[in-house]
Amino acid sequence: MENHSQGSNVLSNELRIIQALRRIIRSTEIHSRQLALQWKVTAPQLICLRAIAQHGPLTGSKLAQQVHLSPSTIVGILDRLEEKHLVTKTRAVDDRRTIHVSLTSQGEKLVAEAPSPLQGKLFAALNRLVPADQAIIAESLERVVEMMEAHNVEAAPILETGPIDQSAEGKILPSEVEELV
């Protein structure tokens, strides 16, 4: 009888884990959708805008370092932000190959008014925990990643569903298909 109750607890815990993961995914989807509908930007775009606001004009490579995205991803994000008149690109006087990106007045307004990205709220909540509790959460999530065999999937520290670079939207790379099979 004791084994049966342990089995029920295991199933219950399995369902709790799956439900928690689904709630995380759903929360991320809702936040991303609200950001896109209300502010017409994605979470990665908003994070880039906030980094530029905080650090002043930046080159694309410096911005990539600040937000932990690849330089090629940053190029696409900055192109879209420029199309939306949220940033301007200016060539450096001393080196014409260097381009600095700065916020427009529209970009400054959006940064001032848009809500914090979801991961900003999560970071704040995690920082209220003691380091031991942070480590337990990190280790547990890393184990979930291993169990899902998702350890080879690269991900930027941005909570966003779908592609970070919208130019890749809807495209699945052959290497990703192999990982899924």
Query: What does the alpha-carbon distance between residue 144 and residue 161 come to, in Å, rounded to a whole number?
Result: 18
Mind listing the pLDDT tens digit for each residue in 142-181? 998 888 876 666 665 565 655 545 444 333 343 433 333 2
**What's the distance, CA 180 to chain centroid?**
21
Mind listing the pLDDT tens digit for each residue in 26-65? 988 888 888 889 999 998 999 999 999 999 899 999 999 9
Query: What does the alpha-carbon distance between residue 113 and residue 109 come to, in Å, rounded to a whole number?
Result: 6
Per-residue pLDDT at 58: 95
Distances (CA, A) of 62 to 17, 48, 58, 163: 38, 11, 6, 21
Domains and CATH numbers, the chain: 2-168 (1.10.10.10)
Per-residue pLDDT at 159: 57
Kindly report the average pLDDT of the chain as a whole number: 81
